[in-house]
């Protein structure tokens, strides 16, 4: 069977790396947005991770005419009533860097005792015409008082994972993927991937990809 093409609908390098490692043994031909030159920017104005993941996957699938996988994720801090949540990438401003977001978070939590937090991830797979499939993962931890570690991306240096007694930035990609919100969402997808693959192939053939071998 020829592998089904799947575009990773993300511009985040850290996510891309983790998703590629998680999808390494799936029978798919992974493409990046960069393989297609400049593509229109995707609005992320949903109030939930699911809304954003579905709209990113749908839009990319439609624009490129190929199945697309999108990830919408973020950090929810209990003492901040769930913030930064869906606004995690833009917490310290529209084009904020990871470092600026982490500094702002540590400032907001200065002298705050309750440091419980969770990462959430919603993965959506969409085809150019038709519905989207959605998978979710969540990982509980706490926010440190200073940054530690150099691996990963985003809030990893301030997210402490108690079972391993390390921040996510102190774990390798493989170690993080084993326990992370993204790893869990992808494991949920893996458990039904054979069915998803049949679904993707059928939708592709219906939309003109007759040359996919059965
Ligand atoms: P795309 O929309 O292009 O995928 P993005 O960075 O804008 O990239 P999101 O809107 O989903 O993606 O924002 C997710 C933010 O949440 C991300 O920028 C990080 O700040 C944070 N985040 C998500 N998963 C994370 C992880 O595994 N480790 C650390 N931070 C994470």
- Give pLDDT, residue 148: 98
For the chain, give the percent of residues with pLDDT over 90. Answer: 76
CATH of the domain at 107: 3.90.950.10
Q: Is 182 in the pocket of ligand 1 (CB under 6 A)?
A: yes
Residue 48: half-sphere exposure toward Cβ, Cα within 13 Å? 8
DSSP 163: G
Summarised one tens digit per residue, pLDDT across range 63-102 is 999 999 999 999 999 999 999 999 999 999 999 999 999 9
- Give pLDDT, residue 128: 87
Highest mean pLDDT among 24-38, 96-110, 182-196: 96-110
Contact 207, 127 (CB under 8 A): yes
- Give pLDDT, residue 214: 52
- Give pLDDT, residue 211: 56
Helix (H, G, I), strand (E, B) or coil at 27: coil
How many separate domains does the chain show?
1
pLDDT at 32 exceeding the cut of 70: yes
Catalytic residues: 72
pLDDT at 119 exceeding the cut of 90: yes
Q: CA–CA separation, 127 vs 104, rounded Å?
A: 38
Mean pLDDT (the chain) is 93
Summarised one tens digit per residue, pLDDT across range 163-214 is 999 999 999 999 999 999 999 999 999 888 888 888 888 887 887 765 565 5
pLDDT at 27 exceeding the cut of 60: yes
Average pLDDT over residues 131-145: 96
What token pair was written down for 153? 């991306």
Q: Which domain holds residue 39?
A: 4-213
What's the CA-to-centroid distance between 2 and ligand 1, angstroms?
A: 32
- Give pLDDT, residue 38: 87
Beta strand segments in the chain, E:
4-8, 28-32, 68-77, 116-126, 132-143, 159-161, 166-167
Termini Cα distance of the chain = 6
Q: Is 88 in the pocket of ligand 1 (CB under 6 A)?
A: yes
Q: Strand 132-143: give its sheet, edge to edge.
A: 28-32, 4-8, 68-77, 116-126, 132-143, 159-161, 166-167
Question: Residue with the nearest Cα to atom 15 of ligand 1?
Answer: 89
CA distance to 44, 152, 171, per residue, from 118 (Å): 21, 16, 17
Question: Residue with the nearest Cα to atom 30 of ligand 1?
Answer: 154
What's the CA-to-centroid distance between 71 and ligand 1, angstroms?
A: 8
- Give pLDDT, residue 25: 87
């Amino acid at each position: 069977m020829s592998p089904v093409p799947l575009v990773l609908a993300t511009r985040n390098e850290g996510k891309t790396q983790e998703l590629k490692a998680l999808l390494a043994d799936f029978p798919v031909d992974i493409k990046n947005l960069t393989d297609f030159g400049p593509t229109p920017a995707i609005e992320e104005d949903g109030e939930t991770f699911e809304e954003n993941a579905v709209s990113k996957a749908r839009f990319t699938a439609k624009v490129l005419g190929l199945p697309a996988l999108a990830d919408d994720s973020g950090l929810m801090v209990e003492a901040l009533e769930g913030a930064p949540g869906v606004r995690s990438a833009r917490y310290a401003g529209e084009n904020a860097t990871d470092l600026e977001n982490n500094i702002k978070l540590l400032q907001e939590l200065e002298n705050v005792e309750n440091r419980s937090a969770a990462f959430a991830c919603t993965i959506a797979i969409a085809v150019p015409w038709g519905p989207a499939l959605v998978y979710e993962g969540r990982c509980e931890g706490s926010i440190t008082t200073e940054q530690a570690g150099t691996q990963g991306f985003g809030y990893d240096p301030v997210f402490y994972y108690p079972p391993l007694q390390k921040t996510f930035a102190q774990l390798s990609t493989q170690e993080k993927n084993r326990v992370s919100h993204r790893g869990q969402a992808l494991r949920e997808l893996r458990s039904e991937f054979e069915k998803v693959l049949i679904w993707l192939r059928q939708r592709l053939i219906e939309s003109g990809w007759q040359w996919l071998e059965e």
